[in-house]
Amino acid sequence: MRPTPLRFLAGSEAMARIRRDGLHEDLFDVVAGASGGAKWLALTRLDQALFGSWFRDRVRPLHMVGSSIGTWRFACLAQPDPVAACQRFEACYLDYAVDGPVSASELTAHCRDFLDVIFGADGIGHVLAHPFMRQSILAVRGRGPIRPGTGKVGLGLGLGAAGLANLVSRRTLPAFFERTVLHDGRDAPPFNLNAEFPTQAVPLTPANLVPALLASSAVPFVFDGVVDMAGARPGLYLDGGIMDYHLDMGFTPPGLVLYPHFSHRIVPGWFDKTLPWRRARAANLSRMLVLCPSVEFTKALPFGKIPDRGDFRRMDTATRQKYWRTAVAETDRLADCWREALEKDRVPDLLEPLVP
């Protein structure tokens, strides 16, 4: 069979259920969204295809669990016109340009501007009162030297110690960070709050939704952390991907987990990016369907890769913007592949095993 641009990777239970029952939206209780910065551009057109039509008539709650840029995608999808919101975010992201060094405070201010574009006048209310989406935004609260007022030195010492401890085990991370989930108050988060990492659960409100999105995306030294979010314990809140980079989590609802992802690999935490032996747990993949670009699709893009945050450093603005626009236009093929597979009921035949 000729390779398709979009891969359908299924855990063992997901594969069995889709092959038995076919693929339909009611199979899923959770949608997962990974950290990854500009890599989200590989998914914007697929998101529009999924939520512009497939989930449009959903009635049952659908839990949207994400960290970092995954939560921003879901903020777009929770608007009354998710396609228009995705297009607004995509356009301003592709147009973004900076000349020379930019401080963390300046980048954080630019992020607030992006959120203004996504939300407009009423977007926060749409997220909190969405008919079926239930948002869970992952962040971490620093411990020890990772706290307000210690500056870059304290943050650097804390992150360095956490990285070294993580080499031994991910179970050491709670000594440095407290996993925090800011979630839709109408439902509990769809995972065990005491499994693996004790988790602070905070209901989302109009006062903490934007701070939660900023905190979840606060890459240390790149963006400012968020201090003392409303309803949460005092402290410095940072990128949720530090603990939950690609969401290696034991989701609890009985339904399946849909995971539009930019990679076939699920990296547990931020410190694990360069640790090839640190893999997702097989039990957490069992009910997951991952939709991701194929290796052939990615290699055919300019520079042989999808966009990433390092492009700001490697390329001048004109080169980066041209490359990003070309790459995003190419991802229409991913959305087209999804639509065709759905319309022709080809998904059961396209399934591949999802392995750690």
pLDDT score at 100: 78
Q: Annotate 34-62 with b (16+ C-beta within 10 A) or e (fewer).
A: bbbbbbbbbbbbbbbbbbbebbeeeeebb
Reported in sequence order, the residue ranges of 153-197 that DSSP labels E, i.e. its strands, are 177-183
Q: What are 276-285's pLDDT values in tens digits?
A: 999 999 999 9
Give the three-class secondary structure for 177: strand
Q: What are 98-137's pLDDT values in tens digits?
A: 887 899 999 999 999 999 999 999 999 999 999 999 999 9
Please calculate the CA angle 33-38-41 and round it to the nearest 5 degrees.
75
pLDDT score at 99: 80
Instruction: Tell me which H or E stretch contains 142.
Output: strand 133-142
Task: Return the structure tokens found at 244.
Answer: 């939950």
Whether the model clears a pTM of 0.85, i.e. scores above it, the answer is: yes
pLDDT score at 195: 87
Task: Return the structure tokens found at 129.
Answer: 């009162």
pLDDT over 90 percentage in the chain: 96
Q: What are 209-255's pLDDT values in tens digits?
A: 999 999 999 999 999 999 999 999 999 999 999 999 999 999 999 99
Task: Return the structure tokens found at 33.
Answer: 């969204």
Q: What type of residue is 218? A: A
Whether the CB-CB separation of 15 and 351 falls below 8 Å is answered with yes
| Rounded Cα distance, 244 and 70, in Å | 11
Task: Please report which confidence band the pLDDT of residue 1 belongs to, taking 50, 70 and 90 as the band edges.
Answer: low
Give the three-class secondary structure for 187: coil
State mean pLDDT over 65-90. Answer: 98
